[in-house]
Structure 1
Amino acid sequence: MKEIKYSIIIPTLNEEKLIERLLSSLVDFRRDAGFDFELIISDGGSTDKTLDIAIMYADILKINSKGIKQTIAAGRNNGARIASGDILIFLNADIIIPDIKSFFTFLNEEFYPSDSIALTCFVKISPGEETTLDKLYHFGYNNYFRLLNLVGVGMGRGECQVIRRSYFEKVNGYNRELAAGEDFDLFRRLRKLGKIIFTNRIFVYESPRRFRKLGYANVTWSWIKNGFSVFLRKKAISSVWEEVR
């Protein structure tokens, strides 16, 4: 059996509007480039057409059949538990990787042979949807996250987190009890064990839907208060992360 180096894990919950663009681009790249990875969808209990779409593309589909609402952290952990790869790539369902070839080339040539244990990258809004405010905000936030990694705090947004499986297991993965701040919490714990790469040489586009509905001020305040709470108290203030679709 051919060894699988990479496992892509995508947590989903009612993502019928956006999930197919990510899945189809990954599957098309794998077919055309002959690049091997496994594609795992970990669904949290979708009631729309997400599962119908996922079945068409996923190598493995993990479904929450307990009937109990789970956090995105639990969804990621459930996917990681059945993954085969040495490298776990966690992607949110609403993102796009604009240059998948460059993305995997960077992982193969810069991350995989290095002594770094995790990687994250810049997150932007796609040019077709991006406003001036989007551009300024993401420029500031991306560089703020880069600074946190430079000073040894450890930070990476859940839109794209790449982690060596062995270290993911050493820290017992994401804290499944956290409804928010689980991405920061994981990278904070990982940073205590080794180096984290934060790069702008590869990047992903995220949907601006949350910013459009709630506004940048509200989203930022939610991130800040949950981040500080996780850092100081090891628990989030938010008990539920609002679903925006």
Structure 2
Amino acid sequence: MKKKASVIIPTLNEEKLVERLLKQFNGDFRKKYEIELIVSDGGSDDNTIAICDRYADKVVTKDNNRSQNISQGRNEGARQSQGDVLIFLNADVTIDDPDHLISKSVEAIREKKCSAIACRVEVHEAERKFSDVLFHGFYNRYVSFLNKVYIGMGRGECHIMSREAFDKAGGYNEKLAAGEDFDLYNRLRKTGKVEYRNDFLVYESPRRYRKYGYARIILDWNKNAYSVFFLNRSISKSWDPVR
């Protein structure tokens, strides 16, 4: 039976965190909303694949030894999927209200109220510091503003779009090591409305902020975003994973 939506999770050595997200999409939940759960693995050498095999409808693995960036992983997951709505989630996130996010996003996309949706991203209160509150409070408003002025933007932690819009936009740019989220959403806005939904909340791991600090991360994000926007290439040649 064709599914209404496909949830696609790219992974690379995510044994520490991915299971908590996978558990939010148990069999009963997937059946209720007619969704499939696909994991697209980039070459994990830990227990990630074994964990994902217990939960996912399909685990897509690489067939070569070449490194794979997150854009390639997402695109491969999309190729293996069948849903009319594509929901890309990073492996380190959890959803605040899965029923609300899935039901309302599928409804909005299938009824063509928009082509794509950007979500609010925060750090969960159990791990949250004051710096997290300041940064995410500002950045969520920034993402909302960009979409209001027709500059498409969506944090890579959660991307939601119609398959039609994804195909028209050409999917993720696999040549970009960073800024691929901004790049895709800027192209998606040309296919239709990109809507920012403050009521769609996902929690991300603060692991990168804890390792590098907000100053460096903001600088890296902005350099890559402006380079992608004006030059169609990222400044960063690679985006090192933090586990």
TM-score by length of 1: 0.96
Shift of 1:105: 2.6
Aligned to 2:50: 52
Q: CA deviation at 1:201?
A: 1.1
Identify unmatched segments of 5+ residues in structure 2: none
Query: Residue 191 of structure 2 aligns to a residue in which SS?
Result: coil
Q: Is contact 1:160–1:204 with CA below 8 Å preserved after alignment?
A: yes
Alpha-carbon distance in 1 for matches of 2:79, 2:120: 27
* Residue 76 (structure 1) aligns with: 74
Q: Which residue of 1 aligns with 2:24?
A: 25
Q: Is the 8 A contact 2:37 2:58 kept in 1?
A: yes
Residues 180-219 of structure 1: pairs in structure 2 closer than 5 A: 180-219=178-217
Q: Match for 2:199: what amino acid? A: R
Contact 1:8/1:89 (CA < 8 Å) preserved in 2?
A: yes
- Match of 2:70, as an amino acid? I
Q: State the SS of the aligned residue for 2:33.
A: coil
Question: C-alpha distance in 2, partners of 1:120/1:92?
Answer: 14
- 1:156 is aligned with what amino acid? G
Q: Is the 8 A contact 2:85 2:106 kept in 1?
A: no
Map of 2:165 onto structure 1: 167
Residue correspondences, number = 243
Q: In structure 1, what is the Cα distance between the partners aligned to 2:132 and 2:99?
A: 26
Structure 2 length-normalised TM: 0.97
Question: How far does residue 28 in structure 1 lie from its aligned partner after superposition?
Answer: 5.8
| Alignment-derived partner of residue 90 in structure 2 | 92
How far has the Cα of 1:194 moved from its partner? 1.0
Query: How far did residue 102 of structure 1 move?
Result: 1.2
1:127-146 matched pairs, under 5 angstroms: 127-146=125-144
How far the C-alpha of 1:110 sits from its partner, in A, is 3.6
Residue 114 of structure 1 deviates from its aligned partner by: 3.3
CA contact (8 A) 2:109 2:161 kept: no
Misfit runs of 4+, over 3 Å: 108-111
Cα distance in structure 1, aligned partners of 2:198 and 2:112:
17
SS across alignment from 1:45: coil
Any conservation in 2 of the 1:226–1:236 contact (CA below 8 Å)?
yes
Q: Percent identity?
A: 48
Structure 2 distance, partners of 1:101, 1:193, is 27
Please tell me whether residue 228 in structure 1 is matched to residue 226 in structure 2.
yes
In the TM superposition, what whole-angstrom CA distance separates every residue of 1:149-183 from its partner, at most 9, and x where no partner exists?
A: 00001000110000100111112100011110001
Q: Which runs of 5+ in 1 are unaligned?
A: none
Q: 2:84–2:110: 8 Å Cα contact kept in structure 1?
A: no
Partners of 2:106 and 2:166 lie apart in 1 by 19
The DSSP-based 3-state class of the residue aligned with 1:142 is helix
Alignment of 1:111-130 (within 5 A): 111-130=109-128
Measured in 2, the distance between the counterparts of 1:240 and 1:190 equals 24
